[in-house]
Structure 1
Amino acid sequence: MNNCIFGRSLPLQASSPTARPAKARPSVPAPSPLPQPPGPFNGAAEGEPGAGAVPNALSGASLPGGWRQRPVSEAGGGRRGRGGRRRRWQRAGTHAAPRPTWPAALPSLAAAATARCPLTSGVSVCCCLFILFLFLSELTGFITTEIVNELYVDDPDKDSGGKIDVSLNISLPNLHCELVGLDIQDEMGRHEVGHIDNSMKIPLNNGVGCRFEGQFSINKVPGNFHVSTHSATAQPQNPDMTHVIHKLSFGDTLQVHNVHGAFNALGGADRLTSNPLASHDYILKIVPTVYEDKSGKQQFSYQYTVANKEYVAYSHTGRIIPAIWFRYDLSPITVKYTERRQPLYRFITTICAIIGGTFTVAGILDSCIFTASEAWKKIQLGKMH
């Protein structure tokens, strides 16, 4: 019988059809040396003596008794042939399929890489977008100044001498300026009628009305200040106390947009439709407020709550002259606002945690998706076969 290797016919020793190999490993007759073309399977390439030797000539060839011979490189088993190679014997049709060489495996590797590439790319894009979103969120929080408030019992402005600055701006459109005056009194015995320091009267409606603007100080004790005609030399018969309050504030004016407090709670109060002969009582609860910026500079202001009532007062002598009363009392609780910004080390730590955690989760997710995809492919191939 002949065996074809590289397109050449190689004569093999014929054997009887009834011949059977012994239990021991049979000896194989050496093939006749033939000239071989240059290549990786000649004797010289395998390191065997003699350029004409063909150690692989019978690899996979049918031998007497249905045996095949193939070279093996693993230790143990088979007979060692020339050049230190071992030969193992198997019956024809029972040997395992040879493993694909590197050039033959390239298409399968490329197919696996192509199948995995879309999954990896999709997960990577999602991770990058997620990291970008979290990074911008943290950057915005780092740049933005945070306002923290707290409450405590204390007098924050101890250097004020026990005084509170007041700013009042009110219009009385139906009362002449010579009749308008400001009176101040408190529980410390202060009683001042017709206060004129740091005040100004502006005529309205061709002198029919008046706008009063004034800045003054009050003591840090319960008391009141009121706009009335008490300081006028001649009292009007029917004074009209309808009014509009433009501004009433205590302490420093805070120019801070992030702090929303009742620093001018009566600003815009309109009582033009009220009874002209009625008195107006505004009961104020003043709350000390401190604002501290990032540099540590403090501003002292006051918020207040307000309740009001309107009435016409009478006594045994007749109707009492109406007035606009501002009765105040101070709260022992102080509100403090402090500007704070997130420390740089905390921002860096958060960014590192975001990146590391996102990539860790992305790796686990990518592995799970790819494993599920491969399992699904195997199931589909099994159904097809």
Structure 2
Amino acid sequence: MFDLTLFLFLTGFIATEIVNELYVDDPDKDSGGKIDVSLNVSLPNLHCDLVGLDIQDEMGRHEVGHIDNSMKVPLNQGGGCRFEGEFTINKVPGNFHVSTHSATAQPQSPDMTHNIHKLAFGEKLQVQKVQGAFNALGGADKLSSNPLASHDYILKIVPTVYEDLSGRQRFSYQYTVANKEYVAYSHTGRIIPAIWFRYDLSPITVKYTERRQPFYRFITTICAIVGGTFTVAGIIDSCIFTASEAWKKIQIGKMS
């Protein structure tokens, strides 16, 4: 029993645990005020020549048809498109959207039904004990939606830090999302639809720290286990001795 208890505690000491905390700060001050974004989305009913990425924010950025570090893969014999892009956004409220705004000739009724494979921010962070919303929109399926509708995804981006046992930090971002689907009109008629990702940053940072129990706590607990084992053994031995003496007296009484 003692060996089993010692083994279980030793296993628990060797294993690491993840402690999380919340604080208000920008954890990645060396990023230059930028966040890396990875987007992968399929539009099975929109030709690649029409698909583009536009980026806007409150610092005045307005980029139509972003093409750096992006790729468009034809789907459905050229009738559809899979857009994959890596780009950066500023750490201010803004949006990026997949649309036909950069196309040479605007289609009359672009079909914006889609499937989001990935939308992630910052470094890729996959740690077994950390469950988070790092790719909350991964798998979002809007293939059966109204083909003339725009889609708004409202994102609240939460800075996230992971610190391992060596003290090395990795910076990523989780996010929550709400979405709506609508057909928009203006005084000139129906507005060309798009897939909007409108984002804002949370002032709260989530930090995950990997740690192991201090060695002094391990020694203290081992001493407590050993001391407790000897104490219990002493009590049991005393009880057995007392019972044995009582039994001897009973036997002597019967003989006399």
Give the alignment of 1:61-140 within 5 angstroms: 129=1, 131-140=2-11
Give the letter aligned to residue 216 of structure 2: Y
CA RMSD of aligned residues (A): 1.7
Q: Residue 270 of structure 1 is aligned with which of 118, 141, 146?
A: 141
Flag the 1:211–1:365 CA change in 2: closer, same or farther, 3 A: same
- 1:184 maps to 2:184: no
Give the letter aligned to residue 152 of structure 2: D
- 1:228 maps to 2:99: yes
Aligned equivalents of 2:241, 2:161: Cα separation in 1: 60
SS of 2:68's partner is coil
Q: Shift of the alpha carbon at 1:362?
A: 1.6
2:211 corresponds to: 340
Q: Residue 215 of structure 1 is aligned with which of 86, 100, 104?
A: 86
- 1:144 maps to 2:11: no
Of Structure 1 and Structure 2, the greater strand share is in 2
Q: Shift of the alpha carbon at 1:300?
A: 0.8
Aligned equivalents of 1:146, 1:359: Cα separation in 2: 31
1:312 corresponds to: 183
Tell me which moved more, 343-352 or 283-292.
Answer: 343-352
Q: Deviation digits for residues 307-352 of structure 1, max 9, x if unmatched?
A: 1111111122111111111010000011111111123332233222
Q: Residue 154 of structure 2 is aligned with which of 258, 283, 300?
A: 283
Would you say how many aligned residue pairs link Structure 1 and Structure 2?
A: 256
Give the alignment of 1:33-72 within 5 angstroms: none
- 1:321 maps to 2:203: no
- 1:255 maps to 2:114: no
Aligned equivalents of 1:248, 1:255: Cα separation in 2: 15
TM-score by structure 2 length? 0.94
Give the letter aligned to residue 195 of structure 2: I
Aligned equivalents of 2:143, 2:251: Cα separation in 1: 86
1:298 corresponds to: 169
Flag the 1:281–1:380 CA change in 2: closer, same or farther, 3 A: farther
1:119 corresponds to: none
Tell me which moved more, 202-211 or 356-365.
Answer: 356-365
| Larger-Rg structure | 1
SS of 1:261's partner is coil
Q: Shift of the alpha carbon at 1:274?
A: 1.0
Q: Shift of the alpha carbon at 1:365?
A: 2.2
Percentage of pairs with the same residue: 86
SS of 1:185's partner is strand
SS of 1:206's partner is helix
Structure with larger RCO (C-alpha < 8 A, sep 6+)? 2
Q: Shift of the alpha carbon at 1:210?
A: 0.3
SS of 2:232's partner is helix
Give the letter aligned to residue 368 of structure 1: C
1:361 corresponds to: 232
Give the letter aligned to residue 227 of structure 1: V
Q: Residue 351 of structure 1 is aligned with which of 218, 222, 242?
A: 222
Q: Shift of the alpha carbon at 1:143?
A: 1.2
Aligned equivalents of 2:109, 2:244: Cα separation in 1: 94
Q: Shift of the alpha carbon at 1:367?
A: 1.3
Aligned equivalents of 1:307, 1:384: Cα separation in 2: 90
Aligned equivalents of 1:288, 1:262: Cα separation in 2: 11
Which sections of structure 1, spanning at least 5 residues, go unmatched?
1-128
Give the letter aligned to residue 265 of structure 1: A
Give the letter aligned to residue 252 of structure 1: E
Moved over 4 A (4+): 376-385
